[in-house]
């Protein structure tokens, strides 16, 4: 069995992390960066071997029935994350000083903030948002850009934003667009149509060869 763990794009990493792992109960995590000059694949193998990551679905299902936790490993560029679900596992003792719960501490990656939240329907849902720092910077930039640009230029800028349109991301971008249009109105400029914001997320193949994953 070949265990695939190297995401080849930021979009693929976020999708695999949020949809395939966190959404299925992998809420405990340790994250880090491969140090410059280090052999990434050697570190990958060491971490996966230490925590028994490369298992088949049958093995994982059997461990779950026995009340044992399972662990996944995912890397994009130099950024890696180990994720565990509920149950007994050595990772909880070995990494107890650095282990985090995504329900309390979101994973920050490449301008995203990824967490697990209790919704108004009393169910847990994955939340993929633009990180607060990135959102503030983007809002300032778009307001300034909006005051100096044509409608077409602003629409193109919004349409080309690199963030995948998960529902929280779309809401954030609508807020930024409202602020941009408010600034344009004060400057005597016409508003930008909300349709310039992408609302349909591309489903990607996380491990398929594409451009090298450049992670912030």
- Whole-Å CA distances, 210 to 2, 33, 178, 192: 19, 21, 34, 33
Task: Say whether pLDDT at 50 is over 70.
Answer: yes
pLDDT attached to residue 123:
92
Task: Say whether pLDDT at 88 is over 60.
Answer: yes
Q: Compute the mean pLDDT over every residue in the chain, rounded to the nearest whole number.
A: 95
Confidence of residue 216 (pLDDT cuts 50, 70, 90): very low
Give per-residue pLDDT as tens, 112-144.
999 999 988 999 999 999 999 999 999 999 999
pTM: predicted TM-score of the whole model, two decimal places: 0.92
Burial of 99-109, coded b for 16+ CB within 10 Å and e otherwise, reads ebebeeebbbb
Region 93-111 average pLDDT: 97
Q: Which range has the worst mean pLDDT, 127-141, 175-189, 200-214?
A: 200-214
Written as six digits, the tokens of 163 are 């963030």
Region 201-205 average pLDDT: 93
Confidence of residue 213 (pLDDT cuts 50, 70, 90): low
Greater pLDDT, 92 or 120: 92
pLDDT attached to residue 211:
57
pLDDT attached to residue 214:
57
Greater pLDDT, 212 or 65: 65
pLDDT attached to residue 209:
82
Task: Say whether pLDDT at 98 is over 60.
Answer: yes
Q: Which residues contact 49 (CB under 8 A, 6 or more apart)?
A: none
The string of DSSP letters for 30-80 reads: EEEEPPTTS-HHHHHHHHHHHTT----HHHHHHHHHTTB--EEEEEETTEE
Written as six digits, the tokens of 70 are 């399972």
Give the DSSP H or E segment for 113.
strand 112-118
Confidence of residue 30 (pLDDT cuts 50, 70, 90): very high
pLDDT attached to residue 137:
98
Measured distance between the N- and C-terminal CA atoms of the chain, rounded to whole angstroms: 31
Domain ranges of the chain: 10-130, 132-196
């Amino acid at each position: 069995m070949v265990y695939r763990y190297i995401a080849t794009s930021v979009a693929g990493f976020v999708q695999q992390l949020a949809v395939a792992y966190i959404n299925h109960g992998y809420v405990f995590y340790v994250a880090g960066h491969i140090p410059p000059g280090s052999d990434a694949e050697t570190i990958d193998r060491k971490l996966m071997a230490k925590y028994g990551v490369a298992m088949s679905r049958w093995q994982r299902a059997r461990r779950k029935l026995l009340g044992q936790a399972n662990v996944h490993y995912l890397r994009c560029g130099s950024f890696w994350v180990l994720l565990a679900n509920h149950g007994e596992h050595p990772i909880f003792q070995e990494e107890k000083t650095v282990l985090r719960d995504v329900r309390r501490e979101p994973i920050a990656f490449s301008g995203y903030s990824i967490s697990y939240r209790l919704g108004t329907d009393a169910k847990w849902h994955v939340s993929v948002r633009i990180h607060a720092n990135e959102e503030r910077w983007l809002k300032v930039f778009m307001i300034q850009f909006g005051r100096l640009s044509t409608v077409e230029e602003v629409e193109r800028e919004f349409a080309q934003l690199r963030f995948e349109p998960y529902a929280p991301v779309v809401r954030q971008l609508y807020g930024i667009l409202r602020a941009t249009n408010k600034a344009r109105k004060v400057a005597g400029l016409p508003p930008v149509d909300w349709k310039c914001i992408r609302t349909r997320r591309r489903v990607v193949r996380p491990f398929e060869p594409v451009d090298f994953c450049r992670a912030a």
